[in-house]
Structure 1
Amino acid sequence: MKFIDLHCDTLMHTVGREGNLSLLQNNQTSVDFGRMNEGGSLAQFFAVFLPTEEMFMENAGEVIEDDIYINTLVETLKKEIAGNIHMIGLAGSYDDIIQNEKDGRMSAILTIEDGRSLEGSLDKLRHYHDMGIRLISLTWNFENCFGYPNSDDKNIMTKGLKEFGREAVEYMNELGMIVDVSHLSDGGFFDVAKISKKPFVASHSNAREISPHKRNLTDQMIRILGEKGGVAGINFAPHFLQPDTNTDRSTVELMVRHLNHMRNVGGEDVVALGSDFDGIGGDLEVDSIEKMPMIFQALQKDGWSIGQIEKLAYKNSLRVIKESMK
């Protein structure tokens, strides 16, 4: 079964390590090209996650300016792809993915997690598009030029997009960059739903009805996402899956429960994969990319048809890519 994973944080592990971390094969991350190929990957979205100052100091020993950091990780991925061009190619559009598949190659898609580096500049948004960035998670865990994050503070949670955020969503639609609402406040989600003329995604978020973490989506959000033609990629992190968000165990059984709920609420076209590999920890039953078929096997046992599993695995995400990315 082919699959598309909408989010992994693997690239951040290529900075601050002794020696070079091979994206072809290594034993330090959950995602590499070899295991992607083994699992049946069609395309992987590789996020450039922007760390906090504390994270920079811990991992790299110094704070790296955002655009230098972004350039470094983008060039790292491009260099690794160039060295393994027989296996994987960079994709900036639906047509690129289809051509790569015809050529026997997987696809890698670049994203940014946290739009803070834009600093209110639409010109920089175009610059990132020119670099190959095709999705931006508007916020991470802090306020930025787009708006506000998920929060336990109800006052923050109800806040919507800032004026730049509204303009940027419209410009992302025009450029062909996918708008990602994972980590965004509830108010921001509803603003994106009103403003975006293209399908948008929650690249790595689950059902709040089952797991009450604020990073997850309410049933209302899941319905709206489905109505807008978007998708939610199921996150493998324990605290986004478990009814008790302090529990540290992630299981396929819980993923099936979330996916059934999301499908029942938003329709079978709303479900997708968003592992959050290499950005999450805990006791993970599916702890690396080649184990992705475990989910498909469990869904088939649960009564999902092959057609429904294919939608979850890659067809729903591919539809959004075709409509929203160029």
Structure 2
Amino acid sequence: MNAPMMMTDRQLHDALLTIDSHIDIPWPPGPSPFEDGPRRVDLPKMRRGGIGAGCFAAYIPQGKRDEDGFQSAYARALAMLRAIRDMGEAGDNARGLAGRLATTVAEIEAARLDGAPAIIPAVENGHAMGLDLGRLDEFRSLGARYMTLTHNGHNALADSAVPRKDLGDAETLHGGLSDLGRAAISRMNRLGMMVDVSHVSKAAMLQAVEVSDTPLIATHSCMRMLCDHPRNLDDEQLDRLAESGGVVQVTLVSFFLKLGRKESEVTLSDFVDHIDYAVQRMGIAHVGIGSDFDGGGGVVGWRDAGESANVTAELLRRGYDRTAIAALWGGNFLRLLRLAEEAQA
């Protein structure tokens, strides 16, 4: 009797439900997501790289905290969320170029079974809601499954890890979360939206752990002990995130992986070093992958979604087994998303 054939690295990769928890889209609208073009992530690259699902973020740059700034951010968020929905509702099904809008765990899993890349909408920067909590309901109605509380620069919800001097930011504005930020987290809990603490200050992140009824997620962050950048999470933050059941999704931005380095100077191995550190510090159940492609992500060996199988090969080389790789590539993310759904009012 012949021994069973061993899976190749690529066969294992293709057998997994792989989820990239943070991808940007060009804005104003640029190259089509349905064609294999200059974007780091488009639907053909997702298929070629075996990416089963991607969280596409409506990224809102921080602007002035006044009525004009709030209204501009809100309008942009709505337009971007509609463009993200179109990635899952348009396209050429006959040629296999369409994605599938998926806003629940069940829909993500169904898309995987049908071989369609799942499109999961998100919002990056709570500046998008201004001072109006009701706008969170609108974002959720357009499919958003998480919102990143800040970007670079303080907003009305929380302090950022990177204050914007050009916007007049002092080191801190709220001492962490504002009262509005606390209310926004509670509203997100009731809406089934995950709370993303990438970009927020340490004080805001630690306060959010206490405020949120569901575990937090950092959808695109790296380890401060390996790279001393203020955007990265230190050991105290990693410990609190793990203790509360949360997850850090390690990101691919070169200067968060190695301080001051360009994409051409950082490798896939450097990226997986950060995964190793997080796993050793927090445990395998609290770590995942979020590339930040088309928002600055990219290193030698993983320059776009089409090269995603290289990550699985490197994890295998380092001794991770199938169960661990499945957890890193999507299982841990889905656990948090399921908890958010169960907490929805």
Distance verdict in 2 for CA 1:79–1:281, change over 3 Å: closer
Gaps of 5+ in 1: 55-63
Q: TM-score, normalised by structure 2?
A: 0.84
Q: Which moved more, 1:149-158 or 1:175-184?
A: 149-158
Alignment counterpart, residue 246 of structure 1, candidates 252, 257, 260: 260
| Paired residue type of 1:27 | G
Q: Secondary structure at the match of 1:45?
A: strand
1:156 is aligned to 172
C-alpha spacing 1:15/1:155, structure 2 compared with 1 (3 Å): closer
Q: Which residue of 2 aligns with 1:80?
A: 87
Q: What is the CA distance between 1:115 and its match in structure 2?
A: 0.7
- 1:67 matched to 2:77? The reply is no
Equivalent of residue 8 in structure 1, options 1, 23, 39: 23
SS at match of 2:229: coil
Instruction: Decide whether the 8 Å contact of 1:250 with 1:285 is kept in 2.
Output: no
Identical residues among aligned pairs (%): 27
**Residue 24 of structure 1 aligns with which residue?**
34
What is the 5 A alignment of 1:46-57? 46-51=56-61
Q: Is 1:145 equivalent to 2:160 in the alignment? A: no
For the structure 1 residues 53 and 137, does the alpha-carbon distance in structure 2 shift closer, same or farther, using more than 3 Å as the test? closer
Partner Cα distance (1:66, 1:182) in 2:
19
Q: Which amino acid aligns with 1:321?
A: L
Letter paired with 1:156: T
Q: Per the alignment, in what secondary structure is the counterpart of residue 141 of structure 1?
A: coil
3-state SS of paired residue (1:156): coil
Amino acid at match of 1:70: A
- Structure-1 separation of matches of 2:92 and 2:108: 14
> 1:191, CA displacement in angstroms?
0.7
CA distance in 1, matches of 2:249, 2:81: 23
Paired with 1:296 and 1:157, the residues of 2 have a C-alpha distance of 41
1:225-265 residue CA offsets vs partner (Å, 9 max, x unmatched): 122222111111111111xx112122111112111110010
CA distance in 2, matches of 1:36, 1:222: 30
1:112 aligns with 2:123: yes
Task: Tell me by how many angstroms 1:99 deviates.
Answer: 2.1
- 2:4 aligns to what? none
Normalised to the residue count of structure 1, the TM-score between the two structures is: 0.89
Counterpart AA for 1:88: G
Contact 1:241 1:255 in 2 (8 A): yes
Q: Deviations over 1:90-130 (max 9, x none)?
A: 11111111222233322111111111121121111112111
Report the CA distance between 1:85 and its aligned residue: 7.2
Kept in 2, the 8 Å contact 1:7–1:274? The answer is yes
Match of 1:136, SS state, is: strand
Q: Aligned with 2:285: secondary structure?
A: coil
Identify the residue that residue 58 of structure 1 maps to in structure 2: none
Asked if the contact 2:177–2:207 (Cα under 8 Å) also holds between the matched residues in 1, the reply is: yes
1:205 corresponds, among 201, 216, 221, to: 221
Give distance in 2, aligned partners of 1:16 and 1:271: 32
Q: Name the residue aligned to 2:232.
A: 216
Distance 1:124 1:71 in 2: 10
Cα distance in 1 between the residues matched to 2:335 and 2:232: 23
Deviations 1:120-161 (A, max 9, x none): 211111121112111100000111111110037995399210
Does residue 321 (structure 1) correspond to residue 345 (structure 2)? The answer is: no
* Per-residue deviation, residues 198-249 of structure 1 (Å, max 9, x unmatched): 121001001100011111111111122122222111111111111xx11212
* Deviation (angstroms), 1:321: 1.2
Q: Is contact 2:251–2:297 with CA below 8 Å preserved after alignment? A: no
Change (3 A) 1:85 1:122: farther
Letter of the aligned partner of 2:245 in structure 1? G
Report the equivalent of 2:109: 98
- Number of residue pairs matched by the alignment: 311
- Summarize the alignment of residues 38-49 of structure 1 with structure 2, pairs less than 5 Å apart: 38-49=48-59
* Alignment equivalent of 1:236, drawn from 252, 265, 268: 252
Cα gap change, 1:213 to 1:28, in 2 (>3 Å): same
Match in the other structure for 2:296: 280
- Report SS of the residue matched to 1:133: coil
The equivalent position to 1:290 in structure 2, one of 291, 295, 306, is 306
Does the Cα contact within 8 Å between 1:5 and 1:45 map onto a contact in 2?
yes
